[in-house]
Amino acid sequence: MPTPKAASSRTPDATRRSERSRRAIYDAALALVVEVGYARTTVEGIASRAGVGKQTIYRWWPSKSAVLLDAYLDLTGQAGQEAQAGREGGEEPTEPTEPIGPAGPTAPAGLPDTGDLAADLKAVLRATVDELNDPRFEAPTRALTAEGVIDPELGARFVERLLEPQLQLYVRRLAAARDAGLLRPGADLRVAVELLVGPLTHRWLMRTRPLTHAYADELVDHVLQGIAPR
């Protein structure tokens, strides 16, 4: 039996409208920061491009940096979900897409643990390489990373909400391997993680050399050698 229209349709419609606005705002925010840079991106500009009123944005976010941060987290979260769906539902198993840097999808589920630490880390870093080379991510990631480099407050929020949780996923995966006796007991896992993520990010940010799967593999091999049991 259909429910009466007047009673039921209002909330779903409002939710749909809100969701449409939110999506338009995110798209506009990311497009603008890529096109004109962080400094010239304004809440007014985002509102105008998204076709919403400025007050709609201020109802949900206190500042442009808050909108941009949520828009970017949404973008990286989408990539994480796509990768997850690929892993779980696809006919061919795809590589897990997990993150580093203020670059890359959030991965609340943790890094893969097949028991083969080197293979797991390589899969994760290769996926990160693919993402950093994907224009959909590259441009906004560069724009926001650059702003975080000069604006300590924005940088700290990115680190807190995106980078640090991701680094901790690596630390946990390495800790599991260490507890299984696969790594030297006293190895500093935090430094090991920075040795994986740091050079990859540096090469990408500075564009010193191409960012390839082979490079990701080399980093993993090198770092694991440094913390292998003696």
Residue type (1 letter), 147? E
CA 56 – CA 33 distance, rounded (Å): 19
CA 208 – CA 188 distance, rounded (Å): 28
CB of 230 to a copy of itself, least distance (A): 9
Question: Does 226 interact with a copy of itself (rule: CB under 8 A)?
Answer: yes
CB of 186 to a copy of itself, least distance (A): 12
CA 106 – CA 104 distance, rounded (Å): 7
CA 224 – CA 97 distance, rounded (Å): 21
CB of 81 to a copy of itself, least distance (A): 25
Residue 134 near residue 126, CB atoms below 8 Å = no
User: Which of 111, 192, 216, 220 contacts a copy of itself by CB under 8 A?
Assistant: 192
User: Which of 45, 96, 99, 102 contacts a copy of itself by CB under 8 A?
Assistant: 102
Instruction: Please state the length of the chain.
Output: 230
Which range, of 21-29, 66-74, 128-136, 202-210, touches a copy of itself by CB under 8 A? Answer: 202-210
Give the distance, in angstroms, between the CA of residue 145 and the centroid of all CA atoms in the same chain.
Answer: 12
Q: Site residues for a copy of itself, window 155-174 (CB under 8 A)? A: 155-156, 158-159, 163-164, 167
Residues 6 or more apart in contact with residue 194 via CB below 8 angstroms: 167
Q: Which residues bind a copy of itself (CB under 8 A)?
A: 37, 39-40, 101-102, 142-143, 145-150, 152, 155-156, 158-159, 163-164, 167, 188, 191-192, 194-195, 197-203, 205-208, 215, 218-219, 222-223, 225-227
